[in-house]
Amino acid sequence: MRTVDPAKREAKRLQILAAAARCFARKGFGQTRTADICAEAGMSPGNLFYYFGSKQDIFAAVVEQDGVDTEALFAGLSAAEPWDALTRFFDLVVDLAADADYARLALEISAQAHRDERIAALVAANDRSVRSGLADLVARATGAGRIDPGLDPTTTATWLATLVDGLFNRVAVDAGFAPERERESLHLILARLLRHEAQPES
């Protein structure tokens, strides 16, 4: 007999993932115990283990959820004018990087991907969807005459993704770097990198 409503179950699952994400961000994967996640989520170990088999499974689900959120983000930009969409994507990245827990979690996930093949595969899939979302935006903006047609969308998307990675890392190493204050210089950088008015001599 099924006693748990699927929507409630999903809400509970997301609540655990959000609590776990905060724990992993603050203590790292290695130092986080499932007891910490239970305390943060305000639930018993028995209840937690009804949803996830292990700390490893929870971490993997956090990374998977990040991928789901990324797809939703790009879907939300698909109707916008492509150059605006690209600029808004970077504004959203700036908002995420300005959230200390999110920035820390991003780094922790990258570090963990080096040591766990399952995490590496999930991270690689998320990264592919970021790059393909960006490549689509670049291709559409090029078609609309907003980006230098001499730029290859795939290579360009890879470098834009590199800039995204760098933003999260910058927050980690440089206490003086406030992403939300850098919005304007980031827009200038995107214009210099991409607009066809910005042709370098070599």
Q: How far is the CB of 47 from a copy of itself (least distance, A)?
A: 27
- Which window, 10-18, 56-64, 88-96, 171-179, contacts a copy of itself (CB under 8 A)? 171-179
- Toward a copy of itself, which CB reaches closer, 12 or 131? 131
Using rule CB under 8 A, residue 1 touches a copy of itself: no
Name which position in 18, 80, 139, 163 contacts a copy of itself (CB under 8 A).
Answer: 163
Using rule CB under 8 A, residue 107 touches a copy of itself: yes
Using rule CB under 8 A, residue 166 touches a copy of itself: yes
Alpha-carbon span 189 to 202, nearest angstrom: 18
What binding mask, one character per residue, do residues 172-201 give for a copy of itself by CB under 8 A, x or -? xxxx-x----x--x--xx-xxx-x-xxxxx
- Which window, 42-50, 57-65, 135-143, 161-169, contacts a copy of itself (CB under 8 A)? 161-169
Name which position in 11, 110, 149, 178 contacts a copy of itself (CB under 8 A).
Answer: 110
